[in-house]
Amino acid sequence: MSSPSTAIEPAALDREQLLTMYERMVEIRTFEDLAGKNFAAGLVPGFVHLYAGEEAVAVGVCAHLTDRDYITSTHRGHGHCIAKGVDIPGMVAELMGKSTGVCKGKGGSMHIADVEKGMLGANGIVGGGIPLACGAALTAKTLGTGGVAVCFFGDGASNQGTFHEGLNLAAIWKLPVVFVCENNGYAESTPVGYHCAASDIANRASAYEIPGVVVDGFDLFAVHETAAEAIGRARRGDGPTLIEAKTYRYYGHFQGDMITYRTEEELNRYRQRDPIVAVKGYLLAHGLADEAGIDAIDARVTEKLDAAWVAAKAAAFPAVEETLTDVYVTY
Amino acid sequence: MVTATATRQLTYGQAVTEALRIAMREDPTVILMGEDIAGGAMVDHLVNDDAWGGPMGVTKGLVQEFGRDRVLDTPITEAGFIGAAVGAAATGLRPVAELMFVDFFGCCMDQIFDQGAKLRYMFGGKARCPVVIRTQIGAGVSAAGQHSGCHYSVFTHMPGIKAVIPSTPADAKGLLLSAIRDDDLVMFFENKVLYGMKGEVPEGDEGIPFGVADIKRDGDDVTVVAISRMVTQSLLAAEQLAAEGIEVEVIDPRTLSPLDEETILTSVAKTHRLVVVDEDNPRCSAATDIAALVADKGFDFLDAPIKLVTAPHTPVPFSPPLEAAYVPSPERIAETVRQIM
């Protein structure tokens, strides 16, 4: 991590906003821990890629967005969904492939989406969402909706052609889009120091003469403030920004990954600075919540997630006829 | 087709331009995107007169009427702008993107088939992707290996994509209007050799529905299903054969996805013979697909083997005599028909 954390005072945030962001982060962590556990128990088909550790990025960015704004996401998309307000019970059911899933069980973890919430999908293609975000921003600009698009992608995606094509297009058209690179240190198992020629991915912004900013992705307030500036700039019509959030994933690339490419010591170093613990510490230190208040939030989230899993387990799988629907609007 | 609608002569290229203009006038969410489709970006004196309007001039004049916010010159960045068209379609616009030559699909296929075509299905029917990708196909101008392919078979194969291939000016206009009004991802294949072809084109704004084949010539002796420029070639063959007393029915599917199976099967039930003429490469193609359809659902109608007249399993050659041998000719079509009579 080239940008040491300096705790930024969240001057612009009131107590309610801080508590909401804390709760969102806990929702993501709890969602992911349970997804991992239930995947291991055989309840989740396919692949899951967990976002635990990276919560401050999705929450700090999406705090500035409403339903008129769009996001695109990655393999590791659960956190972005929750931060953007996608229904959690519907997400759990989607992971299980149930008919009550947000995508009726047809997308699963890697394609989880809710366009009505402005969530244009997790994406099974690395870098696949970058042009889509430019398109969503083009819609906002053309129709004058005032909306912006935020494009989440990983360090691995920054080597795809779509990254460079998307940044150039957004720059020449001054699109209201913010590119958020979640650099968690590894593209699958390959370390960023190997796969990327740039010491900071944010440096790549200079090739397109747009702002490129590195932020500590474990620091919610730093992410929040950086995103505020970039999103504000996009909304004003001043064009795109590339934010590189240096972050870390606690789990492997996917569940089942033996994680032989990094050390326990490295993981523990990050866990010492856990972003949720840091926010909790801030809330307690500033008298914005007491232990009982925090415990109540944590318990509420656990109860919500437990109930979501109970409901998803009880829900029906889609009828086999559903295989043939939703390919076209008309055919 | 007998119709009360007034018509006049337009070229195939002019018919495409007219459809774009009508669609843009009727719906402010329709935008055009592509390389040089406006032309003259940052060259002010070109805007009102000599801007390209695309390398074939098909979009010429539209930037003057609709402005650069709706006629967007893109960089040469197919994954970027085709993907942006898909993203814009999913969020409220109706983009018509121009992929200059279909051979360039390799530069942007992920955005077409992994993103645009699958989005509605993967999202459980909650999204739609009303984007049209216009693209040039076809050999015949020595454009060689990377600017001459057809490749509509590739897109016909893929769920979530509609594949539309007009063979006449009237079909180009009517099908493009329907494509732009359609709520799904449409690949619209314009044959570069046909741009100068003249034909009667209806006035007005009526679209031609998808999945409705057009019988370009009636005949009782053999059914020829032909696609794009192969319709013209087959009609020429049909004239030669008529002089020999063989009446050919020429069917143009017009859209390969969806495919009007009924019109093809009904014709074969009448003629008992089928030849499919396709300029695309022959393996896993529209031609083999139509042959398989008739073998499966119309086997008992047949009095002779199904024959295919296609390009060979090669890239498109450059040298004129080789290219001429590559494209199915009226003579080759006629000879194939004679073999099964």
Interface of B with A in 151-180 (CB under 8 A): 159-160, 162
Tokens 């084109």 -> residue: B201
Share of residues in chain A with pLDDT > 90 (%): 96
Tell me which residue of A161, A216, A228, A230 sits closest to A183, measured CA to CA: A216
pLDDT at residue A149, as a whole number? 98
Q: What is the mean pLDDT of residues B28-35?
A: 97
Res. B41 pLDDT band, cuts 50 70 90: confident
Does residue A195 lie in a domain region? Answer: yes
Q: Per-residue pLDDT for B225 more than 80?
A: yes
B13 with B141, same domain: the answer is yes
Query: DSSP 3-state helix, strand, coil percentages of chain A (rounded to 5)?
Result: 50, 10, 40
- Number of Cβ pairs < 8 A linking chain A and chain B: 162
B72 to chain A: nearest residue by CA? Answer: A173
CB atoms within 10 A of CB A46: 12
B23 with B170, same domain: the answer is yes
Does residue B3 lie in a domain region? Answer: no
Nearest to A132 among B83, B92, B182 (CB): B83
Q: What is the mean pLDDT of residues A33-54?
A: 97
Which chain A residues are Cβ-neighbours of B83 within 8 angstroms?
A: 128, 130-132, 134-135, 162, 165-166
Across the interface, do B91 and A169 touch by the CB < 8 Å criterion? no
Tell me the pLDDT tens digit for each residue of A131-158: 999 999 999 999 999 999 999 999 999 9
Does residue A37 lie in a domain region? Answer: yes
Question: Rounded to whole angstroms, how far apart are CA atoms A209 and B104?
Answer: 28
Question: Rounded to whole angstroms, how far apart are CA atoms B127 and B120?
Answer: 5
Does residue A134 belong to the interface with chain B, where contact is any CB pair within 8 Å? yes
Domain, as residue range, for A42: 16-324
pLDDT at residue B49, as a whole number? 61
Phi and psi at B322, nearest 5°, equal -70, -40
Which one of B45, B147, B157, B272 is the catalytic residue? B147
Does residue B30 lie in a domain region? Answer: yes
Which chain A residues are Cβ-neighbours of B80 within 8 angstroms?
A: 131, 134, 162, 165-166, 168-169
B122 with B222, same domain: the answer is no
Mean pLDDT in chain B? 96
Does residue B111 belong to the interface with chain A, where contact is any CB pair within 8 Å? yes
Does residue A77 belong to the interface with chain B, where contact is any CB pair within 8 Å? no
Q: Per-residue pLDDT for A5 more than 50?
A: no
Which tokens belong to A136?
A: 């969503």
B73 to chain A: nearest residue by CA? Answer: A173
Indicate the helix (H) or strand (E) that contains B64.
helix B62-66
Q: What is the mean pLDDT of residues A79-102?
A: 98
Res. B163 pLDDT band, cuts 50 70 90: very high
Cα of B46 to nearest chain A Cα, Å: 20
Q: Per-residue pLDDT for A3 more than 60?
A: no
Does residue B42 belong to the interface with chain A, where contact is any CB pair within 8 Å? no
Q: What is the mean pLDDT of residues B131-160?
A: 97
Q: What is the 3-state secondary structure of B93-119? A: CEEEEEEEEHHHHHHCHHHHHHHHHHH
- How many structural domains is chain A composed of? 1
B180 with B250, same domain: the answer is no
Does residue B329 lie in a domain region? Answer: yes
Decide if A126 contacts A157 (C-beta within 8 A). Answer: yes
Does residue B2 lie in a domain region? Answer: no
Q: How far apart, in Å, do the first and last CA atoms of chain B sit?
A: 29
Q: Per-residue pLDDT for B50 more than 70?
A: no
Tell me which residue of B23, B162, B16, B18 sits closest to B94, measured CA to CA: B23
pLDDT at residue B52, as a whole number? 82
Decide if B64 contacts B21 (C-beta within 8 A). Answer: no
pLDDT at residue B89, as a whole number? 98
Check which CATH number belongs to the domain holding B220 and give it.
3.40.50.920
Q: Is A188 left (phi over 0), alpha (psi -120 to 50) or beta?
A: left
pLDDT at residue B76, as a whole number? 97
Interface of A with B in 251-280 (CB under 8 A): none
B168 with B269, same domain: the answer is no
- Any bridge partners for residue B274, and if so which? B223
B151 is catalytic: no
pLDDT at residue B43, as a whole number? 79
Alpha helices per DSSP H over chain A: 15-40, 55-62, 78-84, 88-95, 129-143, 161-172, 192-195, 220-235, 264-272, 275-285, 291-314
Interface of B with A in 45-74 (CB under 8 A): 69-70, 72, 74
Share of residues in chain B with pLDDT > 90 (%): 93
Does residue A219 lie in a domain region? Answer: yes
| B83 CB burial (10 A radius; 0-12, 13-18, 19+) | buried
Burial B156-165 (b: 16+ CB within 10 A, else e): bbbebbbbbb
- How many structural domains is chain B composed of? 2
Which chain A residues are Cβ-neighbours of B92 within 8 angstroms?
A: 139, 143, 145
Tell me the pLDDT tens digit for each residue of A286-312: 999 999 999 999 999 999 999 999 999
Decide if B86 contacts B133 (C-beta within 8 A). Answer: no
Across the interface, do B184 and A102 touch by the CB < 8 Å criterion? no
Tell me the pLDDT tens digit for each residue of B228-257: 999 999 999 999 999 999 999 999 999 999
Does residue A85 belong to the interface with chain B, where contact is any CB pair within 8 Å? no
Cα of B129 to nearest chain A Cα, Å: 9
Q: Per-residue pLDDT for B51 more than 80?
A: no
Domain, as residue range, for B265: 214-339
Q: What is the mean pLDDT of residues A217-226?
A: 97
Does residue B131 belong to the interface with chain A, where contact is any CB pair within 8 Å? no
B191 with B303, same domain: the answer is no
Tokens 């074969």 -> residue: B268
pLDDT at residue B85, as a whole number? 98
Q: Per-residue pLDDT for A2 more than 60?
A: no
B116 to chain A: nearest residue by CA? Answer: A132
Q: Per-residue pLDDT for A76 more than 50?
A: yes
Res. B127 pLDDT band, cuts 50 70 90: very high
B190 with B313, same domain: the answer is no
Check which CATH number belongs to the domain holding B28 and give it.
3.40.50.970
What is the DSSP-derived secondary structure letter of residue A114?
B
pLDDT at residue B328, as a whole number? 98
Nearest to A103 among B31, B86, B123 (CB): B123
Share of residues in chain A with pLDDT > 70 (%): 97
Share of residues in chain B with pLDDT > 70 (%): 97
Nearest to B91 among A136, A162, A331 (CB): A136
Interface of A with B in 147-166 (CB under 8 A): 149, 161-162, 165-166
Across the interface, do A120 and B125 touch by the CB < 8 Å criterion? no
Q: Per-residue pLDDT for A6 more than 60?
A: no
Indicate the helix (H) or strand (E) that contains B320.
helix B320-326
pLDDT at residue B265, as a whole number? 98
Res. B47 pLDDT band, cuts 50 70 90: low
pLDDT at residue B3, as a whole number? 55
- Any bridge partners for residue A242, and if so which? A179, A212
Does residue A329 lie in a domain region? Answer: no
Q: Is the peptide bond before A89 cis (omega within 30 degrees of 0)?
A: no
A100 to chain B: nearest residue by CA? Answer: B124
pLDDT at residue B2, as a whole number? 53
What is the distance, to the nearest Å, from the Cα of residue B202 to the centroid of all Cα atoms in its chain?
19
Does residue B64 lie in a domain region? Answer: yes
Q: Per-residue pLDDT for A314 more than 80?
A: yes
What is the distance, to the nearest Å, from the Cα of residue B267 to the centroid of all Cα atoms in its chain?
22
List the B94-101 sheet strands across, edge first: B71-73, B30-34, B94-101, B132-137, B185-191, B161-164, B255-257
Res. B48 pLDDT band, cuts 50 70 90: low
B61 with B183, same domain: the answer is yes
B255 with B303, same domain: the answer is yes
Res. A59 pLDDT band, cuts 50 70 90: very high
Does residue A327 belong to the interface with chain B, where contact is any CB pair within 8 Å? yes
B324 with B225, same domain: the answer is yes
Does residue B1 lie in a domain region? Answer: no
Which chain B residues are Cβ-neighbours of A120 within 8 angstroms?
A: 87, 90-91, 127
Does residue A179 lie in a domain region? Answer: yes
> The dihedral of CA B195, B201, B207, B209: what is its sign?
negative
What is the DSSP-derived secondary structure letter of residue B254?
S
